[in-house]
Structure 1
Amino acid sequence: MTNSLTVGRRVSVRVPATSANLGPGFDTLGLALALYDELEIEVLAEPGVQIEVTGVGAGEVPTDETHLVVRAIAHSLARYDYALPGLRLVAHNSIPHGRGLGSSGAAIVSGVMAASGLLDGIVEVTEADALALATELEGHPDNVAPALFGGLTIAWTTPDGPLHKKLMVHRGVSPVVFVPEHVMSTALARSLQPESVPHKDAVFNVSRSALLVAALIQSPELLLAATEDRLHQNYRAAAMPETDRLISALRAAGYPAVVSGAGPSILVLGSDPAQRLGAAELVAVESETTWQALMLAVDFKGSTVELVST
């Protein structure tokens, strides 16, 4: 790598949380939520990285070049023949880690967007480039697409790379996320997924995924039926029994509840603001451990990057 960045160049990045799958849309559908990680990245004269983290993950995440944001910056810069420079990274994190709200996807997108900002005016990093870079690191595009672009995203892969379609969500859709104190490994959750499922279950999920898109953009009253799933949640239930029990209680009471991403958080896609208040009351009564209720808007903007100093 022969190119280097100008010392003192500084960018600020803001990336939303996401909830993937949304019930039936396994590895395909994702929703951006108004809860953000915010970072500043500056190019230093001396080599190495200086990392300061406040909020979620402070004192827990690496503070060297293995930090996921730094790895994503290095991966993205290398694509354009730029070496990783000395960096100062200041991160204020609000997205819970290991809870199914896309924290690793947000970190990857933060790095990709930071690299894009550091290369501003030098190299154009297109939307397609950013999605491809983020997907290479994340492994699948369902979390990184909404983190990058906001709103409801449909993501799919092709021989030429990942693609996405962004859709605007009906203004009546009112998400609430219930976040437990315990974490869930995405790798463990994926390991519980069978290699094949019955034909009737596959057909069931195809119909519900199609219905879910219609429900989210046009007909929120259909969300309870549209969030039914037979493809992944049942197989993972044993690994998060209270999540499974609360989702069953919520759905029995008429609330469109699903596992958020790989879990263990629960996403309820309320059809109006009052519905999510009812869901919060039910969880408060039924839960055996502490669950934090996050009343979140849908984020329509996605990630942003601003060149603060050149």
Structure 2
Amino acid sequence: MIEVIVPATSANLGPGFDCLGVAFNFYNKFYIEESKEFVDNDDNLVNLSAQKVFNKFGYKEKYLNIKIEGNIPQSRGLGSSATCIVAGIMGANKILGDILSQDEIIKIATEIEGHPDNVTPAIVGGLTAAIMNEDRVYYEKLILRKGIKFISLTPDFKLSTSDARKVLPKEVSYKDAIFNVGRVALTMGALANGNFEQLRISCEDKLHQPYRSRLIRNYDKIISKCKELNSLGVFLSGAGPTIMALIEEGNDHFLEEIENYLNTLEDFWKVRELNIDNLGTRVNIL
């Protein structure tokens, strides 16, 4: 049996729409083994991803028994679907004798997911900037300076990525594009150099959050409260509805006070302190 452990991820980091992502120490675990008998996995994203690899190499013995130990909430903006894609590809790759390179794994995962922001950090770990150019994914893994914490605020309601994409405009203004380009560059520099105060401005966005935020109850109130509690930056995690706050180490009051505030709202919000996972996906033979 093959065990695949895939970390949760948060995409975009505000302005880095579809290109920035970070992996956390919060995991889905998948247990995959071949079966000689038919297994009805047609709508299982893990199996669909594995079959893409098998078909690429003409592998015939490809029925899979799949067990999922899911800790990452689905449709909350924490990369749950990306973990399924990555697990299927890397499980199939192990069955085939590690025939794929890491770059090939990232490429296939991006083709399935549609963009590399979640799958890349899920595979390689850490904070990544990634783009798809023609048929290749180019990425850089950034080493973050110490002194910052990621706090996820996850509600008990879902928001599908497809619904969150439907509200986005088909075109944006030149002004808004420049706004985001500058803030992506500033965000990367601030995280790499430890100039965390810059994040108060650099995590702003005009390409997706103004539109998606309308789908999330109390979004503006929560953002304002995070800023009031001295967060360094606050933004939607992926398509949402999870909201991610960045705080300085030593801001010990933030967790308790934001949790107390969220408890006054009509929805239940789960607060998690997350650490960065720098290893990415692990594959083990059991």
User: Which range, TM-score by smaller chain?
Assistant: over 0.9
Aligned length: 282
Alignment of 1:236 with 2:212, yes or no, is: yes
CA contact (8 A) 1:280 1:293 kept: no
- State the Cα distance separating 1:283 from its structure 2 match: 4.4
Structure 2 match to 1:79: 56
Distance 1:139 1:225, change over 3 A: same
Q: Secondary structure at the match of 1:18?
A: strand
Query: Mapping of 1:219-230 within 5 angstroms?
Result: 219=194, 220-230=196-206
Whole-Å separation in 2 of the counterparts to 1:103 and 1:276: 29
Q: 1:36 corresponds to which letter in structure 2?
A: Y
Structure 1 match to 2:108: 133
Whole-Å separation in 1 of the counterparts to 2:187 and 2:39: 46
Q: Secondary structure at the match of 2:241?
A: coil
Identity over aligned pairs, percent = 37
Structure 1 match to 2:236: 259
- State the Cα distance separating 1:21 from its structure 2 match: 0.5
Structure 2 match to 1:112: 89
* Counterpart pick for 1:144 among 88, 102, 119: 119
Whole-Å separation in 2 of the counterparts to 1:233 and 1:135: 22
CA contact (8 A) 1:250 1:279 kept: no
Q: 2:213 corresponds to which letter in structure 1?
A: A
Whole-Å separation in 2 of the counterparts to 1:139 and 1:276: 38
CA offset digits 1:144-202 (Å, max 9, x no partner): 01111110010101113222111122222211101100000111111111122222221
Query: Mapping of 1:1-310 within 5 angstroms?
Result: 10-48=1-39, 64-83=41-60, 85-120=62-97, 124-219=99-194, 220-255=196-231, 256-272=233-249, 274-275=250-251, 277-286=253-262, 287-288=264-265, 289-308=267-286
Whole-Å separation in 1 of the counterparts to 2:259 and 2:171: 33
Q: CA RMSD in A?
A: 1.7
Whole-Å separation in 1 of the counterparts to 2:142 and 2:55: 32
- State the Cα distance separating 1:84 from its structure 2 match: 5.3
Query: Which segments of structure 1 move beyond 3 Å, counting only runs of 4 or more?
Result: none
Q: Secondary structure at the match of 1:250?
A: helix
Structure 2 match to 1:61: none
CA offset digits 1:94-126 (Å, max 9, x no partner): 111010001011110111111111112xx5210
Whole-Å separation in 2 of the counterparts to 1:21 and 1:280: 26
Q: Secondary structure at the match of 1:275?
A: coil
CA contact (8 A) 1:74 1:84 kept: no
- Normalising by structure 2, we get a TM-score of 0.93
Identify unmatched segments of 5+ residues in structure 2: none
Deviates more, 1:247-256 or 1:24-33: 247-256
Deviates more, 1:108-117 or 1:159-168: 159-168
Identify unmatched segments of 5+ residues in structure 1: 1-9, 50-63
Q: Secondary structure at the match of 2:68?
A: strand
Whole-Å separation in 1 of the counterparts to 2:184 and 2:256: 25
Distance 1:277 1:107, change over 3 A: farther
- Normalising by structure 1, we get a TM-score of 0.86
